[in-house]
Amino acid sequence: MKNLVLGFFAVLLFSSAAFAQSYFRDGKPITEAQYKASNLNTEAMNLMRANENEKAIAVLKEALSFDPQLSQAHHNLGLAYSKVGHTQEAIDELRTAVELNPQSAMSLLTLGGAYQTSGRLQEALETYKETLKRFPDFPDKAEVKGLISKLKEEADRQKSAGGQSEADTYFRQVTTEVPVRWCSNSLPVRIFITDGQGVPNFRPEFIDIAKNSFLDWVNAAQGRISITFVSDPRNADIKVVWTADPKELPNPAEAGFADFTYRRHCLLKGTIKLLTVPMDRTQTVSTNQLRKACLHEVGHILGLRGHSPDPADVMFYSLPIEDKWLMPSKRDAETIVRLYSEPNPESLSK
């Protein structure tokens, strides 16, 4: 039972309303430069909502040239950097936001998310714990607790996999429990994808995303796995189902969930459950986000039980914030090839 951990990332921060003419913010007089910075921050938020992150970065830098102390602009700049994959710059900006405004639980959480998605597990854990300690009444406490427990699990798993990994694969990390795979007598693996009828936020394109996630892993495995899509769930080995209710997943900090049964080293049956809502429940899940969750859970159901410690891999434990179409990495491909290359599954346990 493996799953994908989300980060706290969706929240943009407004600077408090600023008024022209005599320039007030929160009832206090502000300078014209501060007023301009506030307006630019608002403009950047609209760009980010439209996923125009590069443009937003330029506008936020301009905002900060007018008011370097505007914590919300540092926060949003950190988010924008995350979304284009500049993780170190993101962390720097979020740390500045936290320093300038220690009262912002959201900036602290987002910093935790930036550590998490760049693979800095211990710093992520410390930051989330600090958030709970400093903001005991935080409304999304359950999600933060969920994150902490998932990341602790991940830290333990990394420890049990030992320090170093094989050069080109994360085979050791995904086989810390009993190694499993779809054995030759169950190929082609029969997959049934439910139509999502009646599930809030479900979109028909999700079905192709799910299909392509399987096909991309099959390609990555270079012919060692074969699959077929079936139209009758009774004939399926793997079912893909959809839900808009985070409570249907074991942990509120998850985007999806893969459950399976196996005998000895051979997988027998599996179910993938995918969430049609992101962690910020007021938003809708984007095509790229759903693709990431889907590709990750398919990796689990094909036998990659654990997680990669490298943020560049599909099987990294955390959903990448970068908003792009994810493909299996070279290490993902070599790991699945390795798992399916053993002449017989019994030798996997050696």
**Toward Zn ion, which CB reaches closer, 2 or 74?**
2
**Toward Zn ion, which CB reaches closer, 196 or 256?**
256
Q: Residue 328 — φ and ψ, nearest 5°?
A: -55, 135
Q: Nearest distance from residue 106's CB to Zn ion, in Å?
A: 25
Q: Nearest distance from residue 4's CB to Zn ion, in Å?
A: 5
Tell me the CA distances in angstroms from 115 to 56, 112, 230, one per residue in order: 22, 5, 41
Structure tokens at 347: 């030798």
Q: Nearest distance from residue 304's CB to Zn ion, in Å?
A: 9
Token pair 């370097």 is found at 68
**Toward Zn ion, which CB reaches closer, 74 or 150?**
150
**Toward Zn ion, which CB reaches closer, 75 or 300?**
300
Torsion of Cα atoms, 96 then 97 then 103 then 104, to 10°: -140
Stretch that binds Zn ion, among 1-9, 149-157, 266-274, 334-342 (CB under 5 A): 1-9
Residues 6+ apart with CB under 8 A from 36: 63, 66, 67
Q: Nearest distance from residue 336's CB to Zn ion, in Å?
A: 14
DSSP, collapsed to helix, strand or coil, labels residue 4 as strand
Q: Nearest distance from residue 319's CB to Zn ion, in Å?
A: 9
**Toward Zn ion, which CB reaches closer, 4 or 90?**
4
For residue 235, what is the DSSP state?
G
Contact status: 2 vs Zn ion (CB under 5 A):
yes
Tell me the CA distances in angstroms from 69 to 56, 73, 250, 258, one per residue in order: 18, 9, 41, 45
Q: How many chain residues touch Zn ion (CB under 5 A)? A: 2
Contact status: 150 vs Zn ion (CB under 5 A):
no
**Toward Zn ion, which CB reaches closer, 4 or 18?**
4
Contact status: 302 vs Zn ion (CB under 5 A):
no
**Toward Zn ion, which CB reaches closer, 80 or 285?**
285
Contact status: 249 vs Zn ion (CB under 5 A):
no
Q: Nearest distance from residue 280's CB to Zn ion, in Å?
A: 20
Contact status: 4 vs Zn ion (CB under 5 A):
yes
Token pair 């434990």 is found at 317
Q: Nearest distance from residue 101's CB to Zn ion, in Å?
A: 33
**Toward Zn ion, which CB reaches closer, 307 or 338?**
307
Tell me the CA distances in angstroms from 211 to 205, 219, 272, 300, one per residue in order: 10, 12, 12, 15
* DSSP per residue, 187-222: PSEEEEE---TT-TT--THHHHHHHHHHHHHHHHTT
Q: Nearest distance from residue 5's CB to Zn ion, in Å?
A: 7
Stretch that binds Zn ion, among 2-10, 14-22, 215-223, 234-242 (CB under 5 A): 2-10
Contact status: 294 vs Zn ion (CB under 5 A):
no
Q: Residue 199 — φ and ψ, nearest 5°?
A: -90, 120
Among all residues, whose Cβ is closest to Zn ion? 2
Stretch that binds Zn ion, among 3-11, 27-35, 138-146, 183-191 (CB under 5 A): 3-11
Identify which of 315, 345, 293, 311 has the alpha carbon closest to the alpha carbon of residue 173: 315
Residue ranges binding Zn ion (CB under 5 A): 2, 4
